[in-house]
Amino acid sequence: MTESAPLRILHCFRSPVGGIFRHVRDLVEEHRALGHEVGILCDSSTGGAHEDRLFDSIRPQLSLGLIRIPMRRAIVPSDLVAIYKSYKHIRSLQPDILHGHGAKGGAIARLIGSALRVNRYRVARLYSPHGGSLHFDRNTLSGQVVLRLERFQEHFGDALVFVCDYERRTYERKVGKPRKISRVIYNGIRDAEFESVETDPAAPNFLYIGMLRDLKGPDVFIDAFARTERAVGRPLSALMVGDGPDQDRYAAMMAERGLGRRILMRPAMPAREAFALAKIVVVPSRAEAMPYIVLEALAAGKAVIASRVGGIPEVLGDANAALAQPGDAEDLARVMREAVTTPDWREHVMPKPNAFKAVFSASVMAREMLGLYHNLLGSDALADRR
């Protein structure tokens, strides 16, 4: 197959929520614009009205269709039925590429792809972990089981794609050095998002946007905000945007500390809408792979303060003064204090826009991914298939 020939690409993942869904949507839009045929296979039991609207927006670009089946997070017997039904449908689509995202999507793409290969069908099988199972501790029984499954599944794939070098290093440390082709291809932001978002001078000082759960650090943000106020000696203001299982607990935490009027809470909304409502974006996560919110905020011209986790140092720069130790409210407060008391802090600390865009744009991401797809389809391992 020549590089000019259109590819038939099917993305498989479990939950149509968060960063994985965003990553796949960007690839769909970029690759469809280049003339390739694209489709999605994902869970039918997760996601809400917001995700339904996102599906509606990209459905016209899914020339291979949208396949939604029940797909539990854990491995359950019903998976066998779902995989068999998916196999029959995918076989009829005749894809060139099966790209699995996340642990469950990766398992389905590689199993179905391998079944197609047994039947002499030419298809490349790729897996992008997106954190997922790499968050497991190899010193626990559950971690040993999951990580050994990751190693075993390498036999059924052709390539691993990591969204940052941190994810690649974590895979090598917990699972082992990949036996198949592996690439680091950074997440990217669409060109339309590289436009500054204006913020009212009277807007709150800080913005937390994301899931309201401890892994993302909202509790660290609230604690650090209180410490920052004490350090600067005056009241500050903040906005928390998002939904999640621990929302009531965070509201109670703010009320106990007398912060209820200075930290407002709003339900989830599009990121660029939230960026217009506050000055500095704070990402206090305890663990991440390559969070889109950091990329989106920088593309919008926002100042960003973040935990030194995952691939965030690869975006901001390993020695960047905007980085704080994960889970450390005192260190996060130190950075927040510097940001509100140092003149021109954003201009001195944030990455230069042109250099940032040259690495973290969706067009770069899509072009590098296509290069890998074509490389796999042209390899000797696939040459005798179809």
Look at 342 and 287; give whichever has higher pLDDT.
Answer: 342
Any domain includes 384: no
- What confidence tens digit (pLDDT) does each residue in 96-155 have? 999 999 988 999 999 999 999 988 788 999 999 988 888 888 899 999 999 999 999 999
Taking the CB of residue 98, how many other CB atoms lie within 10 A of it?
A: 30
Residues 169, 198: one domain? no
Residues 209, 127: one domain? no
Number of domains in the chain: 2
Residues 87, 205: one domain? no
CATH value at residue 136: 3.40.50.2000
Any domain includes 1: no
Any domain includes 337: yes
Residues 130, 263: one domain? no
Q: Which domain holds residue 66?
A: 8-188+361-377
**With bands split at pLDDT 50, 70 and 90, how would you rate the model's confidence at 181?**
very high
Lowest-confidence pick of 119-123, 163-167, 271-275, 317-321: 119-123
Does position 384 have pLDDT exceeding 70, yes or no? no
Residues 175, 254: one domain? no
Any domain includes 61: yes
Residues 63, 184: one domain? yes
Any domain includes 2: no
Look at 386 and 52; give whichever has higher pLDDT.
Answer: 52
Averaged pLDDT, 212-240: 97
The pLDDT, as a whole number, for residue 73 is 67
Residues 51, 155: one domain? yes
Residues 214, 294: one domain? yes
Averaged pLDDT, 20-43: 94
- What confidence tens digit (pLDDT) does each residue in 203-215 have? 999 999 999 999 9
Residues 198, 126: one domain? no
Cα three-residue angle 262-233-336, rounded to 5 degrees: 70
Does position 276 have pLDDT exceeding 70, yes or no? yes
Q: Where do runs of H (alpha helix) occur along the chain? A: 19-33, 49-58, 78-93, 102-118, 141-153, 165-174, 218-232, 247-256, 271-275, 292-299, 312-316, 329-341, 345-349, 353-359, 362-377
Residues 294, 365: one domain? no
Q: Which positions ≥6 away from 135 have C-beta within 8 Å?
A: 287
Any domain includes 383: no
Distance, in Å, from the CA atom of 328 to the CA atom of 183, rounded to the nearest integer, reads 32
- What confidence tens digit (pLDDT) does each residue in 350-367 have? 999 999 999 999 999 999
Residues 64, 199: one domain? no
Buried b (16+ CB within 10 A) or exposed e, 198-217: ebeeebbbbbbbbbbbbebb
Residues 111, 31: one domain? yes
Averaged pLDDT, 59-81: 80
Q: What is the mean pLDDT of the chain?
A: 92
Any domain includes 127: yes
Does position 294 have pLDDT exceeding 90, yes or no? yes
Would the pTM count as exceeding 0.95?
no
The pLDDT, as a whole number, for residue 158 is 97
Averaged pLDDT, 76-94: 79
Any domain includes 382: no
**Which residues is 266 bridged to in the sheet?**
241
The pLDDT, as a whole number, for residue 380 is 56
117 is written with which tokens?
A: 């290969």
